[in-house]
Amino acid sequence: MDGTERLFERMVHEHQNRVFAFGLALTGNRHDAEEVAQDTFLRAYRALVTYPPDRIRDLKQKPWLHQIALNVVRNRVRGNRPRLVELNGSEPDHALGPEDDAILKMEMDALAVRVAALPTRYRDAVVLRHVQELSYQEAADALGQPVGTVKANVHRGLKLLRGDDDEHSDD
């Protein structure tokens, strides 16, 4: 196994939960979240093998993976999704998961549904900042937006989630 493969293996083990959680908050269900996470890492792998060593060394894995995942979610047009090889046993198991507390899991899923239903620009900003706990700067980098825009979108997204959106409902 060469250096890139070892790096990728470490990357998968280190970031799999983070990327899955990201997918869950963006899509609102675990099945899609797994697909997003899978697709994100597959894309990351395909990119890594083409990168020169110094680019791999300087790579900020966390924002980089978030950026890829955002693109994956954006490209998931219903009915025209990139075909993934289905593996046996990859069907999401709703009854049993790594989370021990089933109630906690249900609460998580319920919140994920609400977050995923937000208009895209607020959803992405809120999830990056408050679910994934990236800094405003990292979130802005991942989104390719100015920090001020991200802050405004996070603020508005939180407001929508709290349900005290009394001004307007343009999105």
CB closer to another protein out of 70 and 115: 115
Instruction: Identify the H or E element spanning 129.
Output: none
Joined tokens for residue 126: 């809120």
Site string for another protein, 67-106 (x = CB under 8 A): ------------------xxxxxx-xx---xxx----x--
Could you tell me if 8 and 44 are in contact, meaning their C-beta atoms sit under 8 angstroms apart?
Answer: yes
- Cα-based distances in Å from 162 to 42, 47, 111, 114, 156: 35, 39, 11, 10, 10
Q: Report d(CA 108, CA 29) in Å as an integer.
A: 10
**Nearest distance from residue 92's CB to another protein, in Å?**
6
Stretch that binds another protein, among 52-60, 65-73, 108-116, 136-144 (CB under 8 A): 108-116
Q: Report d(CA 87, CA 108) in Å as an integer.
A: 26
- Strand, helix or coil for residue 28: coil
Q: Report d(CA 154, CA 123) in Å as an integer.
A: 8
Is residue 171 a contact residue for another protein (CB under 8 A)? Answer: no
**Nearest distance from residue 18's CB to another protein, in Å?**
7
Task: List the one residue from 18, 66, 123, 156 that touches another protein (CB under 8 A).
Answer: 18
Task: List the one residue from 45, 121, 147, 151 that touches another protein (CB under 8 A).
Answer: 45
Task: List the one residue from 7, 56, 131, 152 that touches another protein (CB under 8 A).
Answer: 131
Q: Report d(CA 118, CA 88) in Å as an integer.
A: 33
Contact residues toward another protein (CB under 8 A) are 1, 5, 8-9, 12-13, 16-22, 24-25, 30, 33-34, 37-38, 41-42, 45, 85-90, 92-93, 97-99, 104, 107-108, 111-112, 115, 126-127, 130-133, 158, 161-162
